[in-house]
Amino acid sequence: QTSLRKRASPSAFKGMVKDAKAAHKSLKESRMKDVEVRTSLIKGAGLGLFAARAFPRGTRLPVPYRGKRLSWEQFQRLTDPRWCFTLNEGGVWAVDGKALKKGNPLRYVNGAKTAIQKRRVNVVGVKDRGQVWFITTKAVAGGAEFLIDYGPGYWPALEEKWGRPFRVRSRIAKVKRSIQAASTRLEGTALKRKLEAELEDLEDELADLG
């Protein structure tokens, strides 16, 4: 069973940070000027977060993952969960960073999907007192892009919850426009009937996707 969760896990940090108290003693800090947002090296990913200077292993990125704090029920109702990071603590299931762009650099850290990208993973999410921080798992050179691994179940779940429904909705909008255009043409009657049949199938498909 797949799970649409961006997990924060101290255990994934190879034992460096075992709890919040230990983290505060061992972690190196960074500032906002130490990171920069620019076009990702991953094709089609949009923007990414990059190191503006060298980061040693065990450096905490400057601020926690910020955004709207959602309950499980609120998360389930989202149509676009791509900017959510799972917290699952104190009644908060996830933090949704979609709308908060300014002062929220962790929002731009892309997830590794391919085997090649996973070899470049250099940060992990760690929960600390109701917040999620990203910490470098190895030395990161200045100019390198920060990447995180969301786990094997994340991408199939994202495709199921967002990717396929998004494509179906986009197709529905396109078919509706085509139906409207066909309605204005005398010779468009047959095409309109064909499009209306396709629209009905697409709406059934979207309903099945939930």
5-27 tens-digit pLDDT: 455 443 333 333 334 455 556 89
Global confidence as pTM:
0.69
Q: Using the 8-state DSSP alphabet, how is residue 146 labeled?
A: P
Q: According to the model, what pLDDT value does residue 23 have? A: 54
Q: According to the model, what pLDDT value does residue 107 have? A: 95
Beta strands across the sheet bearing 110-111: 110-111, 147-148, 123-128, 131-136
Q: Which residues does the chain have with pLDDT short of 50?
A: 1-5, 8-20
Q: According to the model, what pLDDT value does residue 143 have? A: 97
Q: According to the model, what pLDDT value does residue 15 have? A: 34
